[in-house]
Structure 1
Amino acid sequence: MFSYRHAFHAGNHADVLKHTTLIALMKYLTQKDTALTVIDTHAGAGLYRLDGDYTETSGEAQEGIFRLLSEPKAAAAPVKKAPAATKTAAAGGAKPAAAPGWAPALQDYIDLLRGLNPQFAETGDIAHLKIYPGSPFIEQQFLSGRDKLKLFELHPTDFKSLSGNIEQLGVGRQVAVSREDGFEALKTFLPPPARRAMVLCDPSYEMKSDYGRVATCMADAVKRFATGTYVVWYPIIPRPEAHDLPRKLKTLAVKAGRSWLNAALTVKSSKLTTDTTGEVIRPGLPASGMFVINPPHTLKAELQAALPQMVALLGQDRNAGFTLEHGG
């Protein structure tokens, strides 16, 4: 049950999508004067070392944040405009061209990384990009004194790391860390006192039951507090449960009469290949998605600008592309 450690995956392409989206959400939701409650059901360790043993062992950050930042970004033609609902890789597998400079949502993401890595900010040298924030640190960056952040993490080692990392922030009672099952603990915080909340549900999916638990948890949350913003990250892998989850969330949102947005980023083929010796090579995680119930009205346009750049810079083969759907 506790085999998954996000430290192996920190800064990968899924984190680029997840955290760019999360920053856009937090930036919008914290603009209002009314207090916001943010609940992170599977918080992880909070901070990660990109030069640590876990990250260097997996190499996933090299195909994620390091690849994003090492590619020329000011070169080519403007990003091709996406249709109103959906955009995929260009015909024939060509990558969409990157826009001059960063899309605003990606710029915000990179600026946050610079804030945590002063030497990287000063020099621009990605060799100095060593600290990577998990969702708890991203969420806390945007909170005002009136807002609250509830973090849940069951893994004993990650819970200990999370508690220590949050303590270093010196934010007192603004952030609460609990070693509890986030799926179950969420129920006790909805509806929130000030009637404004954002929930991030980002389990490991190491157990097939997680897919069903996410759908059930979100259905219960929307029933308890219909106007909250609910954010679900999910992997896109050759497993029926993975493909069923966004469909279930869409059905849930439609039945509840709530707006929704689904953004998915594919960086490579999901097919198994073989090396010269006939050994099977597994592709790792080829794609992931972010499903948002009650998204801000600004989110679609922000991701429409950012996703083509993610494909152009993170795509590894002709299967790279993205979809962006919304409704309600």
Structure 2
Amino acid sequence: MNYRHAFHAGNHADVLKHVVLLAVLDALQRKDAGIFVLDTHAGRGRYDLGSDQAGRTGEAEAGIVRLQAAMPPGAAPAAVRRYLEAVAAVQSLEPGSYPGSPLLVADALRDQDRLAACELLPEEATALKAVLAGDPRCHVHQRDGYAALAALLPPRDGGQRLGRALVLVDPPYEAQDAEFATLLAGVRAALGKFPQAVFAIWYPIKRRATLMPFFRKAAALPVKSAVAFELLVRPDDSPLRMNGSGMLLLNPPWQIEKAIDPALKPLAQALGETGASWRTTWLKAAEN
């Protein structure tokens, strides 16, 4: 695998992914019981937006940089404000940086929560260990994230089983559509071991119609409910570039759409080109 997220850090897909991730984590933290967070494709944790890699693509300029200029936290919907404040907290310590998902999660953990962050690439894993060093709630595993789904669930802390888990699955999709088969197989196996886990699965959108098989198979998984939140910054009429992305939530927290829905239109307006759109789609509604 040759993917390096540094080229894409802070882009529109990161914005959506991290807005949704923090909203879900906040919803789960309304209960006192500890949460185990598993990040299967964690990356290096923090990215320099002034690096040659980030500058070569300019994706952050059209993502987090544009959003910060267009939407001060005080004028943002609650979920976006939460995200902007989390990014600002990191940037106050490391100007010009952007936090990856493991750092955003680590900064949000309570004493009773735990994070396992998996990264296969040695250089990225070493960087992530440095970012999370000194935090006993966080553990970095240099290993395949899909294998970790089976190995680290159900979660335990000090030999004690934790009753709740949030699993972020954010693969690079280097194999394009073939990644979906691997992803779904891993999630199905993980649900067999810990069926109540909440899964947050990021996916790219080129032509949205090509996602229909993935949605059908995801809806057939043994989960209580499934909902997809999508942000397209341009029409999905080109298969040659990422026109948008989505976050698929399996077993989502109750009424999570009330936190996320109000954020989608403002994000599309701030980050989108002509033809930008957004949508919330329930693939499987919870039974009353």
Structure 1 residue 114 corresponds to structure 2 residue 117: no
Select which of 173, 186, 200 maps to 1:217: 186
Determine the structure 2 residue equivalent to 1:323: 279
The 5-angstrom pairing of residues 93-132 of structure 1 reads 101-118=75-92, 130-132=96-98
**Number of aligned positions between the proteins:** 278
CA RMSD of aligned residues (A): 2.1
Spell out, residue by residue over 1:154-210, the C-alpha distance to the aligned partner (whole angstroms, 9 max, x if none): 11221121111111xx213x2111111110122122222122111000000001332
Structure 1 residue 203 corresponds to structure 2 residue 177: no
Distance 1:150 1:17 in 2: 22
Determine the structure 2 residue equivalent to 1:290: 247
Secondary structure of 2:246 counterpart: strand
Uncovered stretches (5+) of structure 1, i.e. residues with no partner? 75-99, 120-127, 273-281
Spell out, residue by residue over 1:89-117, the C-alpha distance to the aligned partner (whole angstroms, 9 max, x if none): xxxxxxxxxxx921000000011111112
Select which of 131, 139, 142 maps to 1:179: 142
Structure 1 residues 73, 144: CA separation in 2 closer, same or farther (over 3 Å shift)?
closer
Q: Which of the pair has the greater relative contact order for Cα pairs under 8 Å at 6+ separation?
A: 1
Determine the structure 2 residue equivalent to 1:14: 13
Structure 1 residue 307 corresponds to structure 2 residue 261: no
Secondary structure of 2:201 counterpart: strand
TM score, norm. by length of structure 1: 0.79
Select which of 190, 199, 206 maps to 1:230: 199
Secondary structure of 2:229 counterpart: strand
Using the TM superposition, give the Cα deviation of residue 220 of structure 1 relative to its aligned residue in structure 2, in angstroms. 1.3
Determine the structure 2 residue equivalent to 1:82: none
Using the TM superposition, give the Cα deviation of residue 71 of structure 1 relative to its aligned residue in structure 2, in angstroms. 2.3
Whether contact under 8 Å (1:270, 1:283) holds in the other structure is no
Structure 1 residues 140, 297: CA separation in 2 closer, same or farther (over 3 Å shift)?
same
TM score, norm. by length of structure 2: 0.90
Identity %: 34
The 5-angstrom pairing of residues 13-162 of structure 1 reads 13-71=12-70, 101-118=75-92, 130-162=96-128
Greater gyration radius = 1
Distance 2:43 2:37 in 1: 15
Distance 1:71 1:46 in 2: 25
Determine the structure 1 residue equivalent to 2:229: 263
Structure 1 residues 293, 305: CA separation in 2 closer, same or farther (over 3 Å shift)?
same
Uncovered stretches (5+) of structure 2, i.e. residues with no partner? 156-160
